[in-house]
Amino acid sequence: MLNRSPKFRSRLAVNEDDLARAQALRHLAFHGVAGRDADRFDAACDHMLIEEIASGDLVACFRFLPLDGGGQIGRSYSAQYYELSALESFPGPMVELGRFCIAPGRRDPDILRIAWGAMTTYVDVNGVELLFGCASFAGTDAQAHLDAFAMLKARHLAPKRWLPRVKAPDVFRFAARLRRKPDAKKALSGMPPLLRTYLAMGGWVSDHAVVDRDMNTLHVFTGVEIGAIPPARKRALRAVAV
């Protein structure tokens, strides 16, 4: 599975060395120092690497946890933080996308484009019907992201039939607490790039954010029903999945 541009290529990890490189990049991106970010989910996941062609450097990575259907949702990383019983009735194959990161200092927009091309290829090849994961805001101060949360409340809450419920001990219930009208410019500028892309595909989010002090983030559960992605967006994604 390979997607490429003149500067970057994507591929699945094929051995322990590839996984170690991904874990090292994750630790650097999430914690700012050298180390290995590893957990029990890694062994069950497919790991995607985005490399710079000229240097071979790893510039981004993420992982996929494939699930046969909603009955396996309890196996997911997200299930540690969200009560996901509503999704147990989801009938089709699903995949959790997690640990997405870009190497510090790398700002070429082509990296994210290639990453989404790789995600699109994976979804198509595996017949995935729901893509989901945790989309993270930097820091644990909800006040810094109120316009973004207000926009999520106004436009992007999950359908009631799939809505995740509270499980984590420390959460910000933005849908219940916020009464403000979002400043669209501020909201979009403060939205994580991965979440912006999810939302452009018709994605939806939980009604609360989990405060994750270990990772120094606030995150929302995010889902994208593949069948509901606007046709024009599907064409654009598949155009880069080559």
CA distances from 116 to 55, 130, 153 (A): 21, 15, 25
Angle at 85 between CA 84 and CA 86, to 5 degrees: 90
Tokens of 99: 């640990």
> pLDDT by residue for the chain (242 residues), tens digit each?
566 778 999 999 999 999 999 999 999 999 999 999 999 999 999 999 999 999 999 999 999 999 999 999 999 999 999 999 999 999 999 999 999 999 999 989 899 999 989 999 999 999 999 999 999 999 999 999 999 999 999 999 999 999 999 999 999 999 999 999 999 999 999 899 889 989 999 999 999 999 999 999 999 999 999 998 888 887 877 777 65
- For 21, 140, 148, 176, the CA distances from 180, given in Å and listed in that order, are 43, 20, 11, 11
Give the residue among 162, 144, 151, 116 at the shortest CA–CA distance from 217.
Answer: 144
| Rounded CA separation 64/210 (Å) | 21
Residue 2: predicted pLDDT: 65
- pLDDT for position 94: 98
| Sign of the C-alpha dihedral computed for residues 82, 133, 205 and 163 taken in this order | negative
d(C-alpha 130, C-alpha 177), whole Å: 29
Those residues with Cβ within 8 angstroms of residue 166's Cβ, 6 or more apart along the chain or in another chain = 82, 83, 173, 208
| Closest residue by Cα to residue 81 from 226, 213, 225 | 213
CB atoms within 10 A of CB 109: 8
SS3 breakdown of the chain: % helix, strand, coil, rounded to 5?
Answer: 40, 25, 35
Spatial distance between the Cα atoms of 5 and 68, rounded to a whole number of angstroms: 32
Residue 238, pLDDT score: 75
Residues with Cβ < 8 Å from 39, sequence gap 6 or more? 77
Residue 241 confidence (pLDDT): 63
- Structure pTM? 0.94
